[in-house]
Structure 1
Amino acid sequence: MTPDARRPRHRGDFERGTTLVELMIALVMLSLGILAIAQLFPAGARGQLRDRLATSGSYYAHEKLEILNRVPWSDPLLSVGRHPAGTATEDLGTSGVWHRHYDVTTLPAPLEDLKKVTVTVDWTFGGARSVLATTYLRR
């Protein structure tokens, strides 16, 4: 037998295990990853609030369309023009965040038996936002 065959095999110095420095570097990298992910939570919360406001605005617009769908053709609510008149708006919600108005127009011939109703709901969240809902009513 050769002397090399009788000698037990040992790992090299580079395979001995992880050092304290390597563990510290891994811990720093893990901490940076966790901090980066933690910064996403406020952005997600803002997005959720923005979407909740948009959903409420859409609800208020469709609510008004449903009301107007049930009134007779000659009702003053369906008179041509902006409602409420001028620049006034209908404040909605407990905090008055949403502002609603609607426009009624008649269509030209041969569609004079139709009225176009467009409801606009405005609110402010990081800038002016609005939702539009439109329907056509027939005589």
Structure 2
Amino acid sequence: MSFNAEEIAYLRSQSLARLATLGDGGQPDVVPVAFEFDGTCLWVGGVGEAVLRTRKFRNVLAGNRKVALVIDDMVSFEPFIARAIRVYGEAEGPVERTGMVGPGLYLRITPTVSWSWNMAAEPVGETWYKPRRAVHRPQAGQ
């Protein structure tokens, strides 16, 4: 199982996410990041060598490869309409590539488990949104 068509469309329509990494001593760190989705993996990074000094890169390079990423938006407050995808995954990098912010160094995040809710952008109603859970399997060659 992987992302379905609605989730893929949503991931490709968004450009801002929150990335959580784990630092020394077990301290979680979360930061807003620009991201892109290539159909399989999510990418975050930047231009220039300075990106290697960011906490997210330092945490991953120190061997803390498990990450969490949330992509969400608030469609409306009245009525209340929220959508989101939460991804647990493994980060690796740095990878030299040309991404949405240009040529640079990026972390490749391979999803392991994801949860999405309200991809149809419906008002919340009487009960909270029911999430869709997907377990992601690595594709051949990864």
Q: Same fold (TM over 0.5)?
A: no
TM-score in terms of structure 1 length = 0.30
* Structure with more relative contact order (C-alpha pairs < 8 Å, separation 6 or more): 2
Q: Which structure has more strand as a fraction of its residues?
A: 2
Normalised to the residue count of structure 2, the TM-score between the two structures is 0.29
Specify which structure has the higher proportion of helix.
Answer: 1
